[in-house]
Amino acid sequence: MTVSPQLTQRIRQDVKSMHAYAIQDSVGMVKLDAMENPHRLPAELQKALGERLGALALNRYPDGRVNELRHALAHHAGMPEGFDIMLGNGSDELISLLAMACDVPGASILSPLPGFVMYAMSAQLQGLAFHGVPLTADFELDEAAMLAAIDQHKPSIVYLAYPNNPTGNLWNDDTIEKIVLAQGAQGGLVVMDEAYQPFASRSYADRITRHTHVLLMRTLSKFGLAGVRLGYMIGPKALVAEIDKVRPPYNISVLNTECALFALEHAEVFAAQAKDLREQRTRLLKELATLPGVTPFPSEANMILARVPDAAKTFDGLKAHGVLIKNISKMHPLLANCLRLTVGTAAENDQLLAALKVSL
């Protein structure tokens, strides 16, 4: 069925020229393409959660229970006094809401590249300019270029992913602080995106009280609840209150809320899973470095960026052997012949390494 030309004229030209976010078909594959926690809940917890979800009043809109989740997450994250927390249907929604709230004349968004694609996409969809500043060849922040871009463009928002996606690294703290101070001096926001915090050795959380223009954003997706879609953002109470005005009512479902509360009540289970993945990451980094032509980069996330001689050939070879990873070699010139590998279970990583050896 075709859509009439008159109707397509009602759709923005820039939207028509975009590509929808692509999700790879993973049926029957070892799924190592999306930075998910590969561990499921133990059987007894699955049963307990199922009973709890079955008792919910799905015929009613979400109620004050979501505020109990806000308090639980604030406690879990160690939210400081005088700060508040805002929930989103995944961090993606929070990123979109930030663009909407900051859409004033001349506003723009700035972020290092390569980085998380939703920063640029949210800007485009909201009609804001996006300024990407290339990282250095070893995926560090280019301090001089970032400071010059902030001075030139005076962006409303600077996003700093900590660790970064897809490179997996934590940037230099002194450089980050200079960027934060420069952005604050010109009156803009800084969003520290800590999506991969469960796997990182450092966090910006202990520094957010130094500034009134910094927001800390996290997600439960990497915690182990990617299917639940729940992100949260912490910042000075007055600042969060302004951004919260554009949040849709009832954006967090009763199912999302109850799943997240249940997970926080069993945080030790997810902490053990994160510990296992950190250990598996160490093992993978060591073994990848022994493969001919493979250059793995240091990672503080649940993914590893690796450069191979021929990314397309290796990706196809892995897929033929039932292992799905992400070929990001065309995403940015700095990522030439790079693949992004999610850290899986010990057994999944065995399959990945075996398939890699015959696919290079």
Q: What is the DSSP string of 269-306?
A: HHHHHHHHHHHHHHHHHHHHTTSTT-EEPP-SSSEEEE
List the chain domain ranges: 5-43+268-359, 60-265
Report how far residue 338's alpha carbon sits from residue 165's, in angstroms, rounded to the nearest whole number.
Answer: 13
pLDDT digits (tens, 9 = 90+) for 47-98: 999 999 999 999 999 999 999 999 999 999 999 999 999 999 999 999 999 9
How many other C-beta atoms are found inside a 10 Å radius of the C-beta of residue 253?
18
Domain formed by 5-43+268-359, architecture? Alpha-Beta Complex (3.90)
Domain 60-265 is in which class? alpha beta
Report how far residue 189's alpha carbon sits from residue 86's, in angstroms, rounded to the nearest whole number.
Answer: 16
- The two beta strands, 30-31 and 108-113, are unpaired
pLDDT at site 9 = 83
pLDDT at site 111 = 98
pTM equals 0.94
pLDDT digits (tens, 9 = 90+) for 110-150: 999 999 999 999 999 999 999 999 999 999 999 999 999 99
pLDDT at site 28 = 85
Which residue is associated with the tokens 């160690």? 78
pLDDT at site 303 = 97
Longest dimension (CA), the chain: 58
* Token couple for 167: 């490179």
pLDDT at site 83 = 98
pLDDT at site 20 = 73
Report how far residue 144's alpha carbon sits from residue 178's, in angstroms, rounded to the nearest whole number.
Answer: 10
pLDDT at site 15 = 82
How many other C-beta atoms are found inside a 10 Å radius of the C-beta of residue 15?
9
* Token couple for 236: 């000075």
pLDDT at site 1 = 75
Amino acid identity at 335: L
pLDDT at site 254 = 97
Least Cα distance to 297 among 288, 306, 284 occurs for 306
pLDDT at site 4 = 83
> What's phi and psi for 144, nearest 5 deg?
-60, -40
Report how far residue 145's alpha carbon sits from residue 135's, in angstroms, rounded to the nearest whole number.
Answer: 9
Which residue is associated with the tokens 């015929």? 59
pLDDT at site 27 = 83
Instruction: Say yes or no: do domains 5-43+268-359 and 60-265 share a fold.
Output: no
Report how far residue 258's alpha carbon sits from residue 159's, in angstroms, rounded to the nearest whole number.
Answer: 30
Report how far residue 150's alpha carbon sits from residue 111's, in angstroms, rounded to the nearest whole number.
Answer: 10
* Token couple for 165: 């996606």
| Positions of the chain with pLDDT under 50 | none
DSSP 110: E
264's CB contacts (< 8 A; 6+ apart) are 72, 73, 76
